[in-house]
């Protein structure tokens, strides 16, 4: 992923990743409305899994991957994303990183 973004748009990588995060989160919030974030971002219907994995494993604020075992999930109850430890389901805190 790093090489792909570096080659395509070297100066705008951070903002593009933040846009990806916002669009996929919006898609999660409005499920069932026909929004296809992966297609809007890549113009390719076969990239859904790739875009979802980036959204799940990328720390957009720090422009790097989350540590191993940490991922972003959608909380249907509160209609927001949360970052958790995959095994325990407990919230991940960025302090100390």
Whole-structure pTM value: 0.72
Rounded Cα distance between 21 and 51, Å, is 9
pLDDT in tens, 28-61: 888 766 678 888 778 888 888 888 898 999 998 8
Reading the block at residue 69, the tokens are 């075992």
Sequence length of the chain is 97
Give pLDDT, residue 84: 95
From first CA to last CA, the distance across the chain in angstroms is 22
Rounded Cα distance between 88 and 97, Å, is 19
As beta bridge partners, residue 59 has 64
Closest to 62 (Cα-Cα) out of 14, 3, 22: 14
């Amino acid at each position: 992923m790093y090489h792909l973004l570096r080659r395509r748009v070297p100066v705008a990588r951070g903002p593009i990743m933040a846009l990806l995060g916002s669009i996929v989160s919006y898609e999660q919030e409005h499920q069932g409305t026909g929004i296809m974030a992966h297609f809007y971002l890549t113009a390719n219907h076969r990239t859904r899994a790739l875009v979802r994995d980036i959204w799940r494993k990328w720390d957009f604020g720090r422009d790097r991957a989350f540590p191993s075992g940490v991922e972003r999930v959608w909380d249907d109850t509160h209609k927001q994303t949360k970052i958790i430890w995959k095994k325990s389901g407990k919230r991940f805190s960025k302090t100390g990183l």
